[in-house]
Homo-oligomer: A and B are copies of this chain.
Amino acid sequence: MMATLEEDEVEFRAGDVVRGTSDEVESIYIVKEGWLFSAVELGDGRRQILEFFVPGDVVGLHDLPYEQTSYELVTLTESTLCPFPKERLGPVFETSRAVTGLLFTFSLIDHVIMLDRLKSIGRLAAKDRIAHLMLTVRSRLCITNDELGDHFFFPIPQAEMADALGLTPVTISRSKAELQQEGLIRWQRREVELLDRAALEKRTRFDARYQNLDTSWFTTLCGGY
- Hey, which bits of chain A sit against chain B, CB under 8 A? 25, 38, 40, 42-43, 46-48, 50-51, 61-68, 70-71, 86-87, 89-90, 93-94, 97, 100-101, 103-105, 107-112, 114-115, 117-119, 121-123, 163-166, 205, 207, 209, 212-214, 217, 219-221, 223-224
Contact = CB atoms under 8 A, between A and B. Distances in A.
Contact of A107 (B108, B115, B163): B108
Contacts of A62: 108-109, 111-112, 115
Q: Helix, strand, loop or mixed for chain A's interface?
A: helix
A72 to B, nearest CB: 12
24 contacts: A43-B205, A47-B123, A48-B118, A50-B115, A50-B118, A50-B119, A51-B115, A61-B108, A64-B214, A65-B213, A66-B214, A67-B212, A86-B217, A86-B220, A87-B220, A89-B220, A89-B221, A90-B221, A94-B223, A107-B111, A110-B111, A111-B114, A121-B122, A122-B164
B50 A90 contact: no
Q: How many copies of this chain does one complex carry?
A: 2
Contacts of A63: 112
Nearest to A70: B112
Contacts of A47: 123
A16 B213 CA distance: 28
A65 B118 contact: no
Given A43-B205, A111-B110, A122 B214 contact: no
A90 B224 contact: yes
A42 B123 contact: yes
Contacts of A205: 40, 42-43
Contacts of A71: 115
Contacts of A46: 123
A60 to B, nearest CB: 10
A224 B93 CA distance: 12
A217 B104 CA distance: 15
Nearest to A90: B220
A199 B209 CA distance: 39
A123 B166 contact: yes
